[in-house]
Chain A
Amino acid sequence: MAEMTAPSQKELLDKEREIAARHMGKFPWGSVAWCFANLACWLALWPLVLLGYVPLWLGFIVATLNVALCYLPSHEAQHDIIARPGEPLRWLNELVGHVSTIPLTLSYGVAKLTHMEHHKHANHPDKDPDYSNHAPSAKAAIWKSFLNRQPGVSGGLNRYGEVMQEMDTPRANRALTVAILYQLFFYGFLIAMAWSGYALEAALLWWLPQHIGVTYIQFYLSWAPHHPFSEQGRYKDTRAWRSRLGNVLTMGMQYHVIHHLYPRIPLMRTPRAYWEMRDVLEARGVPNHGL
């Protein structure tokens, strides 16, 4: 009977890469359709609600979903998953990146630059732009997300502006300029709507959904997969975890460890890639936390 031996580190890495290769380079049709359908839905809410075809309470619920859902297609673009530089569909990659996060008022340039820093330095207290989302519990994370949005606090999205200034490269400065224009438009639009008699509509179709959406995104896309933010390095800075809400309501983030190992695997393929890679990851000491 042949003796069973544990696979070497090289064998594990080869197996891991072979699985990852099967999932990379696939065109993420789902994410592209998601971007445009979500944006069109949110834009359509404005005339539908203002003209009385859709009640404001329903518009508020749909708008909140739209904001919560708008980040991930842009995230695919940030990683050049739709098309890499020089490829024929590069324009589509950049278009999705730019327009998807309009409801979130997050500029593509800032999102991309800060996200690349997050990948390079995940969980580093000073270098990871998302480190300020760390908190000891789920409740504390939601409260922290809210506190980080206060004007005098350096955390959450406020931290992104500081990161751009610290980078001080032409690209970062350009991204910061666009981000400032986004903010001016957002607040200018809210104020103009409010003084035209539509303050409640502006509040419930954009301002409040944006706050709820940011909390949801920071909780599921940052806090949950990186909790407890204590370790750095490959296989350590991101975790697999099981949520009671399941895969769809956590926007695939139970499998976020796959994204940090192979960022060019499209979001919708990360669950399959995880299940194929699970044994390899376990052998490498990546805990599955019940997944």
Chain B
Amino acid sequence: MLLKLIGLIFKFGPLVFGVGFMWPLITQVIVRAGVELPLGITPLIAGLLLGGGLGLIAQFRGSWIWLK
């Protein structure tokens, strides 16, 4: 059971990292920088879109920067 869970974490590692780390990181960067976001988007939503988006790209493309 534990091994299966660890296997899953590694299989979806980029997505887990995108949501688990990049999301709060980007959110906190936006808050500390005092950036005004358009369309009433909150830092938390912007962090989710950017961090989660990067995680999705890394997960399915195999690269955080598209290039391999």
Contact surface of A with B, Cβ cutoff 8 Å = 147, 150-153, 180, 183-184, 187, 190-191, 194-195, 197, 199-200, 202-203, 207
**B9, B25, B62: the one within 8 Å of A153 (CB):** B62
**A153, A184, A194: the one within 8 Å of B21 (CB):** A194
**B14, B21, B28: the one within 8 Å of A207 (CB):** B21
For residue B25, which residue of chain A has the nearest CB? A199
Q: In residues 12-68 of chain B, which contact A (Cβ within 8 Å)?
A: 13-14, 16-17, 20-21, 23-25, 27-29, 32, 58-59, 61-65, 67-68
**A150, A183, A202, A203: the one within 8 Å of B62 (CB):** A150
Interface size on B, residues (CB 8 A): 25
Contact surface of B with A, Cβ cutoff 8 Å = 6, 9-10, 13-14, 16-17, 20-21, 23-25, 27-29, 32, 58-59, 61-65, 67-68
Complex Cα distance, B58 from A153, in Å, reads: 11
Are B21 and A199 neighbours in the complex by a CB distance under 8 Å? yes
* B-side contacts of A183, CB under 8 Å: 10
Are B6 and A187 neighbours in the complex by a CB distance under 8 Å? no
Task: Describe B's contact surface by its main secondary structure.
Answer: helix
A-B residue pairs in contact (CB < 8 Å), sample of 21: A147-B63, A147-B67, A150-B63, A150-B64, A150-B65, A150-B67, A151-B13, A151-B14, A151-B59, A152-B62, A152-B63, A180-B10, A183-B10, A187-B21, A190-B20, A190-B21, A191-B17, A191-B21, A194-B24, A200-B32, A203-B25
Complex Cα distance, B57 from A152, in Å, reads: 11
* A-side contacts of B27, CB under 8 Å: 199
* A-side contacts of B61, CB under 8 Å: 152
* B-side contacts of A191, CB under 8 Å: 16-17, 20-21
Complex Cα distance, B29 from A183, in Å, reads: 25
Closest A-B pairs by Cβ, 5 of them? A152-B62, A191-B20, A194-B24, A199-B25, A150-B63
